Amino acid sequence: MAASKPRTVIVLAACGFLLAGLGYASPSSASPGSSDSTGTDGCSAGARTLAQPGSHLYPEVGNGGYTSVHTLVHMVYDADTNTFLTGNQVVLTQRATQCLTNFSLDFERRSNNAAEGPNMAVQSVTVNGRAARFRFAQPAYPGDANGPDDPNPAAREASQTNPAGGPDHNPLPPACTPQLLSDKASARHSLNGTQCPANKLVITPAQPIRDRANFEVKVNYTGRPGVHNDGDGGREGWWRTPNGGFVITEPIGTQAWMPLNNYPTAKPTYDFSDTVTAGRTVVANGVLGSVRHNRPDNQFPGGSVTWNWRSTAPIASYLVENSVGKFHLTERTADNGTRYYVGQDASISAERQKENLAIMNEHQDITEYESLFTGAYPFASNGVFVGTPKVGDQMEMQTMIVFDNSRIDTSTFYHENMHQWWGDNVGESSIEMTFFKEGMAVVSEMLFAARKAEAKAGGPQSKKGQAAFQASLVKQFDRIYRSKGKFWTVAPSNPDAFNLFDDSNTYNRPGAAYIALRQILGSTNFTQALQQIQRAYGGGTITEPQLEAAFAHWLPVQTGTCRARLSQFFRQWFDTAYPAGGGKDRPQLTGPGLTGPGFYSAGGGCA
């Protein structure tokens, strides 16, 4: 592609000159079948995925050639009919990382789930205020040398596996993850080899965008938002409720209600200015700025209300919250300045709301407890919201934790709150890294159980209490370590879409690994490592090598053999798939006080 040319001042100047002279890239320079993917003189199409070549875990999401700086969600939403109305738009401020002839967003305007899926249409797109051409395209597999508009249909196939559909079917990697309509194991490979839907919104501005220029993209769209069918048969996105919508979106469901750069490394800051049916409440990320009541108009004969929320902290694609309904919402400011929000759907029974509230009121205590291990709370606000749909999921939406099915439980509250540091502030560098933040969230549940044991035995100041705390962690570790069956068969760092959210590989195994790591480093060094990672990577994302290097830095014995042994530890726990049952080969380096031969002392141990 043309982008392989060095980015020099001369190229930029040529690019700017072309704009004035020619507007769009000249047709003669375009290759057949990709009329807008080949530009001129150093300008080219942005990549249409951020997944690594060969990825078989949602390889279709993310967009390159620019970074996402800020997003204004300007929603105009009729909560009675669950419809985005005229004027509904997102305004995306982006920064080019190359000279761009065109670029893309992820937007799922229609779905194979007719009942709950989205049904939306784009009316217009502008770039820097000027009308831009747009079209919807299928993704091609990441790394396709023929470019994002590869005319070969085999380059645009869905599959859980690489190659797509198995070696006899197609030698190429998959271009997207199948959207399963069932979570039954028999459905797992049912859509392998089918064509990917056209969910890439490709935008061609009136003139190419210079490298390093900030540019503003407005997308006007209307219609019904909905849910995305995930590769494990789960559904995420915008759930219809009697009085509005309930938003819970990991891993890629945000694209079923708004166009965006739908990859976890894209972390713009956000403003929400949502105009909705009068009498409805919006809960979103960040801090609530203002609520304005509007007179009746053509679109809202009964009047409307505009809710303004703002997050000056960057938010990853799957953590954007924007639920609408009849909610009870309260706000208070803690003595340390953090604003706490508590919300519940008003249709939840008074008795249940009271039970929920008793748990929700622990939010500050949980936050302060977790910060003892993992450092100061990273955001200006924190919130929790309980909605009514039975989604089968609770989620760490940034600064606005969301529970479904009208109820909250304390252990899961610890889990989701721990994500505010792990996943939200320090994000995953790819969807393959989901295990890194889920493991830390599992650690918080283990800490909660240990905290209860400690309190029962005399509290944190007593020797008995401290011993009970440690004994609880060892017991919880052992319970996971003894797991049999298929527990050890998937490497946490290499899931497919069907098992991405399985307890074994994404939750309990990395959770147990962190507890073992705490033994190896010592509790003080472990805490130091967590806090240093927060300082170094907060607001951004972390890769697996960066994570492991940060822990290695706090290894108390800094010899070559000990560091090599720690690398082996990570390989065993994070990167290795074992036979069913784990057998004798399952992770052995589990540290003193936990099962296994030990890290420092046993045969082959380091010193």
Nearer to Zn ion, 60 or 438 (CB): 438
Q: H-helix or E-strand containing 437?
A: helix 434-456
Nearer to Zn ion, 438 or 548 (CB): 438
311 token code pair: 């997050």
Cβ of residue 73: shortest distance to Zn ion, in angstroms?
A: 24
Specify which residues 103 forms β-bridges with.
203
Cβ of residue 415: shortest distance to Zn ion, in angstroms?
A: 5
| Inter-CA distances, 327 with 144, 236, 240, 353, 576, Å | 47, 21, 15, 11, 46
Nearer to Zn ion, 441 or 491 (CB): 441
Of 55-74, binders to Zn ion (CB under 5 A) are none
Nearer to Zn ion, 500 or 517 (CB): 500
190 token code pair: 């049912």
Nearer to Zn ion, 46 or 510 (CB): 510
Q: How far apart are CA 243 and CA 241, in angstroms?
A: 5
Beta strands in 541-595, from DSSP E residues, in sequence order: 541-542
Q: H-helix or E-strand containing 545?
A: helix 544-552
Q: How far apart are CA 389 and CA 384, in angstroms?
A: 16
Kindly write out the interface string for residues 422-461 of this chain, putting x where it contacts Zn ion by CB under 5 A and - elsewhere: ----------------x--x--------------------
Point out the residue whose Cβ comes nearest to Zn ion: 441
Cβ of residue 401: shortest distance to Zn ion, in angstroms?
A: 10
Cβ of residue 363: shortest distance to Zn ion, in angstroms?
A: 17
The DSSP letter of residue 47 is P
Cβ of residue 442: shortest distance to Zn ion, in angstroms?
A: 8
Q: How far apart are CA 493 and CA 490, in angstroms?
A: 9
Cβ of residue 419: shortest distance to Zn ion, in angstroms?
A: 6
Nearer to Zn ion, 36 or 396 (CB): 396
Cβ of residue 411: shortest distance to Zn ion, in angstroms?
A: 12
Cβ of residue 238: shortest distance to Zn ion, in angstroms?
A: 20
User: Does residue 530 contact residue 373 with C-beta atoms inside 8 Å?
Assistant: yes
User: Does residue 532 contact residue 553 with C-beta atoms inside 8 Å?
Assistant: yes
Q: How far apart are CA 460 and CA 454, in angstroms?
A: 6
Torsion angles phi and psi, residue 301, rounded to 5: -60, -25
Torsion angles phi and psi, residue 329, rounded to 5: -130, 125
Of 537-566, binders to Zn ion (CB under 5 A) are none
Nearer to Zn ion, 180 or 441 (CB): 441
How many of the chain's residues bind Zn ion (CB under 5 A)?
Answer: 2
442 token code pair: 């599992």
Q: H-helix or E-strand containing 429?
A: none
Cβ of residue 9: shortest distance to Zn ion, in angstroms?
A: 47
CA quadruple 124, 125, 126, 127: dihedral, nearest 10: -170
Nearer to Zn ion, 106 or 428 (CB): 428
Cβ of residue 209: shortest distance to Zn ion, in angstroms?
A: 37
20 token code pair: 């004035």
* Angle at alpha carbon of residue 197, lines to 191 and 199, rounded to 5°: 140
Nearer to Zn ion, 248 or 258 (CB): 248
Query: Measured between alpha carbons, how far apart are the two ends of the chain, in Å?
Result: 51
Of 82-101, binders to Zn ion (CB under 5 A) are none
Nearer to Zn ion, 41 or 432 (CB): 432
Kindly write out the interface string for residues 377-416 of this chain, putting x where it contacts Zn ion by CB under 5 A and - elsewhere: ----------------------------------------
Q: How far apart are CA 325 and CA 322, in angstroms?
A: 10
Binding site for Zn ion (CB under 5 A): 438, 441
